[in-house]
A and B are shown apart, each in its own frame.
Chain A
Amino acid sequence: GAGVSQTPSNKVTEKGKYVELRCDPISGHTALYWYRQSLGQGPEFLIYFQGTGAADDSGLPNDRFFAVRPEGSVSTLKIQRTERGDSAVYLCASTQGGTRNTGELFFGEGSRLTVL
């Protein structure tokens, strides 16, 4: 597709359940970022992939959060044993990688996660 696609757009789950959020980046973009955004806050960095590998995962809040990008394109953010505090909009962004990464990120519309 032309832009970054995220699914699902909305996810409501119960505390303790497992959740997967998917991001399909712009074709050819080797850099992919996950952020989360709470109401009235700026995006909070979670993880950054360059190709298949996580170049920086320092933003993952704890070991319940994990992300993969096995073929260097689609990425999945996985959250185990969800907690109410995980409720937020999870944003994915992509851009050209390596030396062509100017910092201009292309964002999807986000996946809104609500943990009851």
Chain B
Amino acid sequence: GDSVTQMEGPVTLSEEAFLTINCTYTATGYPSLFWYVQYPGEGLQLLLKATKADDKGSNKGFEATYRKETTSFHLEKGSVQVSDSAVYFCALIRAGNNRKLIWGLGTSLAVNP
């Protein structure tokens, strides 16, 4: 069945460091791909998305490119801030009528000043 695999955390970085959180997926058809973020004490919210191959989603300095050939959607940011400390979830939604999101387990990021 469809699945999402993301790198295990926790990830600890210093401020202004480069961030990569790997995400790969298995899915039939052409899913849409998402990164959601959960800040401490807050609900999940969409960070960015891509709906087709080679699309790049971007928001708040974060980017991820939908790579169908490697079935990946890695999250990157060139210079992290303390305020980026959160848990990041990669997810996919199937094409078709069943709009159930499939989630990765989440990667915790801590950014130190």
Q: Which residues of A are at the interface with B, using a C-beta cutoff of 8 A?
A: 4, 31, 33, 40-43, 45, 48, 55-56, 91, 93, 95, 101-110
Contacts and interface: CB of A to CB of B under 8 A. Distances in A.
A102 B99 CA distance: 8
A109 B99 contact: no
Contact of A101 (B89, B99, B102, B104): B99
Interface string B102-113: 111110000000
Contacts of A45: 100-103
Contacts of B32: 102-103
23 contacts: A4-B43, A31-B99, A33-B101, A40-B105, A41-B105, A42-B89, A42-B105, A43-B101, A43-B103, A55-B97, A56-B98, A91-B43, A101-B99, A102-B32, A102-B93, A103-B32, A103-B49, A103-B93, A103-B101, A104-B34, A104-B49, A105-B46, A109-B43
